[in-house]
Amino acid sequence: MTSGIVSPVSDPADEAARGRNAAAGLRRPVGVVSTGLCVPPRVVTNTELTRTLDTSDAWIRSRTGIEERRYLATGLSTSDMSIAAAREALRRGGVAAAELDAIIVTTFTPDQPLPSTALMVKERLGAHRAVPLDLTQAACAGGIYALVVAAHLLQNTSYRHVLVIGADAGSRATDPQDRGTRVFLGDAAGAALLAPTADGFGILSWHTDSELSYEVEIPAGGSRTPTSPETLQRRDQYLKMNGKAVWTMATDRLPRSIRETAARAGIGLDEVGYYLLHQANLNIITEAMASLGVPAERAPTTVRRFGNTAAASMFTVLHETLNGPAEHGDVLIMAGIGAGFLWGSMCLRHCAAGG
């Protein structure tokens, strides 16, 4: 995908330096320069959910590790959270919206089927020259897929800044009567500003894979089964999930993908400072880390406080890590799996401002 986009490298020394990013297929090294986060102010505790669902705080904590999640206020939408997260990322990166070359919004809860949520974000930000791109069905793996797309866009030397936003209003997609999904999902948006970086930093490698499955789905609302009185009666407009299937796939595929990505980067698992996993379920994160043979404390978590925020979830831990303990030169691996099933991971070397 990069062929013919970047000028050929003629200096052998430059070629050797760029080789440190070669595992990612990038002739032009790119990385995350800043992040932003938006979580709604309304906190929904487990106790609040027990008032309408046949469940308990103890059951939710033991099965998911979630203690509370955030719900978006009535009248607000996915684009509102996206814009708030985007503005913070731009402020932290010292980049004006007018300087953006592309905006990628990944979500399974767009404001509406048409028009484009990315276009809504572009217009409200004032990013007049940016190409708006929507990645709408990668669900919880959307963050990885969107970052891969952004990295390739930046191989075009006329592009300098690409903004990736992962956002979902999961509370709008789950059935208020279904404890199997309702207790998991919350609402949030996270943004990552990508730009060219120093050789050997930024994105070092990635891995993606997929396997078609209907174990996690929203059955109605598409061309196969349009919304109708019958689908509404069956509550098919809401997310359906086979929890056992998700557990089996996530605990197997996430460690596999992480190992593959680390190997492609030539990085040992013990050299990775932070594992930023999709925050679906604390037990899945714990199991995945045990499978890797890596101490669980190297996987920062937000799932206790925010629940599963789908496309936003990896960005919540990325934001807190890059603006917290991460230091210049630290290696991070992001990984996620979503409905489909789609999964993937990405290895990055952090290039701190002034580093």
Catalytic residue among 278, 319, 347, 350: 278
φ and ψ at 41, to 5 degrees? -70, -20
Gap between the Cα atoms of 334 and 338, Å rounded: 14
Angle, CA 186 vertex, CA 182 and CA 189 arms, to 5°:
155
Q: How many CB atoms lie within 10 A of CB 73?
A: 10
Catalytic residue among 308, 319, 347, 351: 308
Report in angstroms the alpha-carbon separations of 203 from 16, 213, 299. Answer: 16, 29, 19
Tell me if residue 278 is catalytic.
yes
Tell me if residue 351 is catalytic.
no
Is the Cβ–Cβ distance between 178 and 54 less than 8 Å? no
- Token couple for 5: 């986009």
- Token couple for 199: 């050789």
Catalytic residue among 38, 140, 347, 351: 140
Is the Cβ–Cβ distance between 298 and 272 less than 8 Å? yes
- Token couple for 113: 């089927």
Tell me if residue 308 is catalytic.
yes
Q: Report the catalytic residues.
A: 140, 278, 308
